[in-house]
């Protein structure tokens, strides 16, 4: 289910952190021909995940247990009572993730006091490099209330797959200097922990703020 704020949604962006690949909903099936590295065969493909998300017919989200930027274990239940604004990305992303997190931060600022009822959360898709201290530096540069979460690769894969987020690490000429292709939707999760919907990548801050406001309901 897409939010009203995303009604103009005409396509899906697979956020390749060095280039942004825009495909239309109708063309989602051609993603397999795009220059995206193959994932492990046991993992769902980008197409499967995106189609699942867009169909609105499969469950999205669910329980998770990860580690925050202070090293504390956190679960989805910790955020009950807040509207969670969730984004998956990685701190070494050169362009797309910082831009999107900046837009989320500006949207929260625009909401003023109403934003107190939200909890912005960033989950890394690069747990190998995104340690809690690295996340602490990163999230604080965007918003004082942004929580960063990391974990084992298995924990991250499980959580990302639950949210229909695709990610794959690209091989690099020099170890440690790789990029990670990933989808870049913003997910909204209700105060009761239930998935409410997603926002497409690249929305301006005011559109993100409108979508959040619509979901916050009366105070």
Let me know: does 90 contact 15? Beta carbons within 8 Å: no
C-alpha to C-alpha distance for 124 and 185, rounded to whole angstroms: 13
Q: φ, ψ for residue 114 (rounded to 5)?
A: -60, -25
Least Å distance, CB 121 to Ni ion, is 15
Least Å distance, CB 35 to Ni ion, is 16
List 17, 46, 50, 125, residue binding Ni ion (CB under 5 A) = 17
List 93, 160, 196, 209, residue binding Ni ion (CB under 5 A) = 93
Residue span binding Ni ion (CB under 5 A) among the ranges 43-51, 88-96, 134-142, 171-179: 88-96
Identify residues 96-115 at the interface with Ni ion (CB under 5 A): 96-97
Among residues 18 and 27, whose Cβ is nearest to Ni ion? 18
Among residues 111 and 180, whose Cβ is nearest to Ni ion? 180
List 89, 120, 148, 201, residue binding Ni ion (CB under 5 A) = 89
Least Å distance, CB 15 to Ni ion, is 5
Q: Is 186 in the site for Ni ion (CB under 5 A)?
A: no
Task: State the residues that interact with Ni ion by CB under 5 A.
Answer: 17, 89, 93, 96-97
């Amino acid at each position: 289910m897409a939010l009203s704020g995303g009604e103009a949604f005409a396509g899906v962006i697979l956020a390749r952190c060095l280039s942004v690949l825009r495909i239309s909903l109708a063309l989602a099936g051609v993603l397999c021909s795009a220059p995206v590295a193959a994932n492990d065969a046991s993992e769902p493909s980008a197409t499967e995940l995106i189609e699942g998300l867009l169909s609105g017919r499969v469950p999205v989200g669910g329980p998770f247990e990860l580690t925050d930027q202070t090293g504390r274990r956190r679960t989805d239940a910790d955020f009950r009572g807040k509207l969670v604004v969730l984004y998956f990305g990685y701190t070494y992303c050169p362009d797309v993730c910082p831009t999107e997190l900046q837009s989320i931060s500006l949207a929260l600022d625009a909401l003023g006091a109403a934003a107190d009822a939200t909890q912005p959360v960033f989950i890394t898709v690069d747990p190998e490099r995104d340690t809690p201290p690295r996340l602490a530096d990163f999230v604080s540069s965007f918003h004082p209330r942004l929580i960063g979460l990391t974990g084992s690769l298995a924990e991250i894969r499980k959580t990302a797959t639950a949210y229909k987020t695709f990610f794959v690490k690209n091989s690099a000429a020099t170890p440690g200097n790789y990029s990670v292709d990933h989808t870049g939707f913003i997910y909204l999760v209700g105060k009761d922990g239930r998935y409410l919907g997603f926002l497409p990548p690249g929305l301006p801050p005011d559109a993100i703020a409108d979508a959040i406001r619509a979901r916050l309901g009366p105070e």
